[in-house]
Structure 1
Amino acid sequence: MTPRFDAIGLVVSDMAASLAFYRRLGLDVPPEADSAPHAEAVLPGGLRLMWDTEEAVRAFDPGPAEAPGTGGTALAFRCDGPAGVDALYEELVAAGYRGHLPPWDAPWGQRYAVVLDPDGRGVDLFADAARPAG
């Protein structure tokens, strides 16, 4: 049997704060998950995004929990065009989330921005750059 990529797991310090952030990005997570030690959202195509509290992880791995924002995990959310990147970045920053890199036109042909989730993890917002009229 060949392994199949099935899920991305995030360790979070505050489940409710983390889920509120990802709900603003369009993920469907039930409200009762805010107080649970584990939560999941099924993404298009069947991939799952999972959240576990630091306490839940310590229950099976008593070693020191790595600071969630330093683990190299980043998630990317495609937006509806360059203006969508700008609008979502501004909405999240206005809601109190930390902006990391304000929207810019990346040299690889995308409008890009990075905000930080409540645990300091980078979340990329992107869209294909507008093509010049020609």
Structure 2
Amino acid sequence: MTPQFDLIGMAVADMARTLDFYRQLGLDIPPGAETEPHVEVTLPGGVRLAWDALDMIRSFDPDWTPPTGSPRVNFAFRCADPAEVDRWYAALTAAGYHGEREPWDAFWGQRYAVVHDPEGNGVDLFAPLPG
């Protein structure tokens, strides 16, 4: 059998703030999860997204250290329309999350913006441009 892509896992230093960020983007994360060392949700389509507190990771890998430098992965959230890209960017930055790139009309035909989650991961917001 060929391996099946199933889960994206992230190491987090601040579980509560990270889960709050993804709740604001509409992920159904159970109340009280912020006190757990491991949290996961199943996304539409069946892929799971998981967060592990740094202490949890070190419980099975004591030599683990957080990566340094720029993130190499971005998560992308499709919005209903270009105005939604602007609205979500404004809401997330107003809530104190870092806005990496303000909304712009990309040459490939999408309204696009980038914010960072509390761990510094890029989160893209996009929607097709009309016409």
Q: CA RMSD in A?
A: 1.4
1:45 alignment partner, SS class: coil
2:130 aligned partner: 130
Consecutive unaligned residues of structure 1, counting only runs of 5 or more, are none
* Aligned partners of 2:43 and 2:49 also within 8 Å: yes
Q: Offset at 1:71?
A: 4.6
Query: Secondary structure of 1:52's partner?
Result: strand
How far apart are the structure 1 equivalents of 2:71 and 2:84? 28
Alpha-carbon distance in structure 1 between the residues aligned to 2:85 and 2:116: 15
Deviating beyond 3 angstroms after TM superposition, the runs of 4 or more aligned structure 1 residues are 67-71
Equivalences for 1:1-134 in 2 at 5 Å?
A: 1-67=1-67, 70-131=70-131
Q: 1:127 to 1:69 in 2, by over 3 A?
A: farther
Separation (CA, whole Å) in 2 of partners of 1:6 and 1:128? 27
Q: 1:9 to 1:18 in 2, by over 3 A?
A: same
Counterpart secondary structure, 1:91: helix
The size of the alignment, in residue pairs, is: 131
With normalisation by structure 1, the TM-score equals 0.92
Identity of aligned residues (%): 56
User: How far did residue 67 of structure 1 move?
Assistant: 3.6
Q: Note the residue ranges of structure 2 that are not aligned, 5 or more in a row.
A: none
